[in-house]
Amino acid sequence: MKGIGKSFPGVRANDDINLTVNHGEIHVLLGENGAGKSTLMNILYGLYNPDEGEILVKGKNVKISNPNVAISLGIGMVHQHFMLVPPFTVAENIVLGSEPQKGLALDMDKAISDVEELSKKYELRVDPRAKVQDISVGMQQRVEILKTLYRGAEILILDEPTAVLTPQEIEELGIILKSLVSQGKSIILITHKLKEVMIMSDKVTIIRRGKVIDTLETSGTSIEELAEKMVGRKVSLTVDKGEAEVGEPILQVKGLKTLDNRGLEAVKGVDFEVRSGEILGIAGVDGNGQSELVQTITGLRKTTAGDISIKGKSITNLSPKDVTSSGVGYIPEDRHKRGLILDFPLSENTILGIHRSKAFKKGFGLDYRKIREYSRKLIKEFDVRTPNERIYAKSLSGGNQQKLIIARELDRDPSLLIASQPTRGLDVGAIEFVHHRLIEQRSKGKAVLLVSLELDEIMALSDRIAVMYDGKIVGIVDAKDATELELGIMMAGGRRPEEH
């Protein structure tokens, strides 16, 4: 790819980007959220048309106007969110879009034998007859990879492939990628996780604010160097926190059970407590009941059994309003859906939840002058970058939106702060801010419940780590003694990882 440029309103997403991927190499595209990696790959896959620049595949200048062209050129993409049909079998999913036919009918036998052959060739073991909804996430990813191979992909693009995997599955993925490369495929890996770059790749290209900063041989670089190039300044990768001064239990959860949206049991009897002055991290692969657990504590979901209490007082099945006033602050995992009203100005967002308080009342109405004053105060204290408090929440960047939510929740001085994936989609600066605030709560003697899919985050911040699998807490370990291997095994349900 030569001199690629692409603009969106107000941003130059790609600016004169040059990227060369050699035959048989694993090339990582490293950059923060919003750096322009996905834009670049979407251009290569034909989802966007570049404003400038040219793309050469095997030395030939090509114009990739849509994904079909990309596929015919041997370019395949595995998206971060899998594009599979859950009730279909593995084989059906793999042949989808280029089904072998016998007359007018689908030749299922051929599809199955094709898939078996393919999976043998690339050592990607899958059961062609299993339904996608019944197999593990790691297995689903293999199906996605096979799908691209079935369509004759020579160049595979993987977008954040490790986001949904346990550490063991990540390791397996590394082996799979190596074997693909040894058979002559080329792989482009999009990620922002530095450790994986070091383990998996041959070369790495760092992108920052739409520009290529550098391309390096992985063997000749270090995590520290990559981090600095990615962010543009020196970053400390470790979180500095003193010893925990643990006090009384603040949150106690006993035998908690609840259902998910489909009416299936999502939390199957969970016991734990969070004490003042500590951060309890809940680790686990996405979809093991963490979201439902948090929603139950915050009053957004009803329990079917068990008890939740704050400082010894039961808050089981109270309304969100009553839970909040019992001293619980909540940073929701989906800030657009739960955290903010995007079409409200910042000022009205800062009073959400306390809008009934006497402080903002004037006669029959709300005292908008006071509301604006209050929000200006929060904006200043929490360094929310905004021209003023009258603009709509939707026009803030993700990091600033999160700052606004944190400001709102922390200003109520909660004794328990629940942070659900608080750094998802944020850049390094904002992540540092969030971590700093969580640690600050802990030093103030508050209890913090941190739920995150990023194991590194959990390990860096938590004092104790609870691992959730299949709606249960598999175990709670002291963060000081926890190893990634041990946690990884627990995240997979305590079983030994599959042999390979």
Partner 1 sequence: MENWINDLKSSLKNTMKEILYPLAAIVISFIAGAILVYAFGKSPITAYKALFFGALGDWNKIGETLVTTTTLILTGLSVAFAFRCGLFNIGAEGQFIMGGVAALWAGWALSGLPPILHVTVTLLAGALAGGIWAGIVGWLKAKVGSHEVINSIMMNYIAMNLSNYLIMTVFNEPDKAFSYEIAPTAKLWRFAESFVQFKYSRLHTGIIIALIVALIAYYILNKTIRGYEIRAVGFNPSASEYGGINVNRNIILAMVISGLFSGLAGGIQTAGVQYRVNNLFGFTGYGFDGISVALVGNNHPIGVILSGVLFGALQKGGPMMQIEGIPKEVVGIIQGIIILFVASNFVRVMVQKYKENKEIKAQVAKGEVK
Which residues bind to partner 1, rule: CB under 8 A? Answer: 7, 9-12, 15, 51, 209-211, 298, 300, 319-322, 324, 330, 332, 337-344, 348, 352-353, 355-356, 361, 364-366, 368, 390
CB 112 within 8 A of CB 193: no
CA 24, distance to chain mean position in Å, is 29
- φ/ψ of 60, rounded to 5, equals -100, 130
Q: Nearest approach, Cβ of 295 to partner 1 (angstroms)?
A: 9
Report which of 226, 176, 169 is spatially closest to residue 197, judged by C-alpha positions.
226
The two tokens of residue 160 are: 């954040």
Helices first, then strands: H and E counts in the chain: 16, 24
Closest CB to partner 1 among residues 70, 315: 315
Name the nearest CA neighbour of 426 among 404, 449, 406, 402: 402
CB distance 85 to 96 below 8 Å: yes
Query: Taking Cα atoms as reference points, which of 60, 75, 72 lies closest to residue 98?
Result: 72
In whole angstroms, what is the distance from residue 433 CA to residue 333 CA?
17
8 A C-beta contact, residue 239 and residue 458: no
The residue among 167 and 299 lying less far from partner 1, judged by its C-beta, is: 299
- Least distance from partner 1 to the Cβ atom of residue 338, Å: 5
The 3-state DSSP class for residue 152 equals coil
Please state the closest distance from residue 313 (CB atom) to partner 1, in A: 18
Cβ neighbourhood burial of 261 (10 Å; 0-12, 13-18, 19+)? exposed
Residue 327 C-beta: closest distance to partner 1, Å: 14
Cα gap 187→173, rounded to integer Å = 12
Measured from the CB atom, the residue of 163 and 342 that comes closer to partner 1 is: 342
User: Contacts by 5-14 with C-beta closer than 8 Å and gap 24+?
Assistant: 5/50, 5/51, 5/52, 5/53, 6/36, 6/39, 6/40, 6/43, 6/48, 6/50, 6/51, 7/51, 11/210, 12/210, 13/39, 13/210, 14/39, 14/40, 14/43, 14/50, 14/210
Torsions phi, psi for 360 (to 5 deg)? -105, 15
Q: What DSSP state is assigned to residue 228?
A: H
Sign of the dihedral defined by the CA atoms of residues 331, 337, 341, 346, in that order: positive
Select 144 or 333, whichever has its Cβ closest to partner 1: 333
CB of 7 to partner 1, least distance (A): 5
Which is closer to partner 1, CB of 12 or CB of 151? 12
Taking the least distance from each CB to partner 1, the nearer of 348 and 427 is 348
Torsion of the alpha carbons at 81, 83, 89 and 90, rounded to the nearest 10: -70
Nearer to partner 1 by Cβ, of 15 and 278: the residue is 15
Q: Which is nearer to partner 1, 123 or 343 (CB)?
A: 343
Q: Which of 177, 242, 212, 243 is nearest to 37 (CA)?
A: 212
Q: Taking Cα atoms as reference points, which of 382, 398, 403, 452 lies closest to residue 32?
A: 398
Residue 309 CB, shortest distance to partner 1, in Å, is 19
Q: How far is the CB of 357 from partner 1 (least distance, A)?
A: 10
In the complex with partner 1, the residue whose CB is nearer, 220 or 365, is 365
Name the minimum Å distance from CB 180 to partner 1: 36
Min CB(317)–partner 1 separation in Å:
14
Closest CA to 228 of 211, 213, 249: 213
Q: How far is the CB of 310 from partner 1 (least distance, A)?
A: 16
- What is the smallest separation between the CB atom of 210 and partner 1, expressed in angstroms? 7
CB of 401 vs partner 1, minimal distance in Å: 12
Cβ distance to partner 1 smaller for residue 9 or 103: 9
Task: Using the minimum distance from each CB to partner 1, give the nearer residue, 313 or 364.
Answer: 364
32/278 with CB nearer partner 1: 32
